[in-house]
Amino acid sequence: QERPRFVAYLNSSALYRRRGSAPHFQHAMDCHSSPTFLLQSYQTLALSVASAVTSFLSLCAGGTCVVNPTDLFCSVPGRLSLLSSTSKYKVTIAEVKRRLSPPECLNASLLGGILRRAKSKNGGRCLREKLDRLGLNLPAGRRKAANVTLLTSLVEGEALHLARDFGYTCETEFPSKAVGEHLARQHSEPKETSARKKMVLATKQICKEFQDLLSQDRSPLGSSRPTPILDLDIQRHLTHFSLITHGFGTPAVCAALSTFQTVLSEMLNYLDKNSSGKTSGAGDQQINNSSEKTQLRKTAEPQSKDGKTEKTE
């Protein structure tokens, strides 16, 4: 609709009236703005779009679609939330692929349970057909490769949510101070204090090295697939643990180690306070003893003088 107006503006422009018309440019604009040319262009575009849509639908119906692993496969309601606060978790195609691959190799029944698919006569077949269109193979009669635990029923989003709640509860509710002081009181003798502090410091160092290792874990989770930092020899073992626990394992272990570090710090505080208190108490006792001796000496001197004077008299 705008092209004829633009051509009319050029034809009536003072620039072309002053310099004269450009025949070749005018002819080209007239050809491109003609109704016949526009109709042919629209028909060609419509045929191209229809051909693309038809080929895509035929590919999805009878073959494999080229999809992005981060695309959404479905949304699953949580299993652990209360009825008043039910939340849904997004499941990506990459997560479904992880459930079908080692170490779990879930079958159609277990995968349908995770995805909360209602049991029906052709439920497994429909799920396999959908997975086939996405390039994921789920053969009929497949046997699971790993033991089923309570974590198997959780999608990765809910497992990670559970790990975060567990870490928050450990940080805010675990009695780290009471436990640390109780453990320190078991070995609070002066001769054991120095050796005990060295043991606690060494334990804190080993625990920190373990925490640093787990913080570098780059196991795939959700829609993310980060680049590994650690050596592949250790990363594959951490990835195996993450796949078995659906992402719950490593954050939960990190939360437990952080709590353990807090307990060790409380033990050190108690040992330092106890050793300094005993040292100051021993010093005060020595001062008191010396003051008592000097007082007795002063009181004894007049008595001896009186005794000597009596004898001389």
Burial class of residue 263, CB neighbours in 10 A (0-12, 13-18, 19+): buried
The label of the residue with tokens 């159609």 reads 108
Distance CA 52, CA 50 (A): 5
**If you average pLDDT over residues 279-304, what whole number do you get?**
57
Burial class of residue 244, CB neighbours in 10 A (0-12, 13-18, 19+): middle
Amino acid at 184: A
Q: Which of 124-138, 159-173, 207-221, 225-239 has the lowest mean pLDDT?
A: 124-138
**If you average pLDDT over residues 140-144, what whole number do you get?**
79
Task: To the nearest 10°, report the CA torsion of 47, 52, 58, 59.
Answer: 160
The label of the residue with tokens 């575009």 reads 45
Tokens standing for 288?
A: 């008191």
Residue percentage of the chain with pLDDT more than 70: 66
pLDDT at 125: 80
Q: Select from 114, 77, 123, 78 the least CA-distant residue to 96.
A: 114
Most confident of 126-130, 140-144, 302-306: 126-130
Most confident of 43-52, 53-62, 123-132: 123-132
**If you average pLDDT over residues 167-191, what whole number do you get?**
94
Q: What is the DSSP string of 134-192?
A: TT----TTPPPSS---GGGGS-HHHHHHHHHHHHHHHHHHS-HHHHHHHHHHTT--HHH
pLDDT surpasses 90 at 199: yes
CB atoms within 10 A of CB 34: 12
Mean pLDDT of the chain: 80
Give the start-to-end residue ranges of the domains of the chain. Answer: 72-147, 156-275
In 3-state terms, what secondary structure has residue 89? Answer: strand
Distance from chain centroid for Cα 47: 48
> pLDDT, tens digit, for every residue of 19-53?
554 555 455 455 555 666 565 666 666 656 555 55
pLDDT at 4: 56
Q: Select from 158, 68, 142 the least CA-distant residue to 104.
A: 142
pLDDT at 38: 60
pLDDT at 58: 47
Which carries the bigger pLDDT value, residue 140 or residue 29? 140
Distance from chain centroid for Cα 304: 85
pLDDT at 296: 56
The label of the residue with tokens 């195609």 reads 93
pLDDT at 15: 47
Give 137's pLDDT tier (boundaries 50, 70, 90). Answer: confident
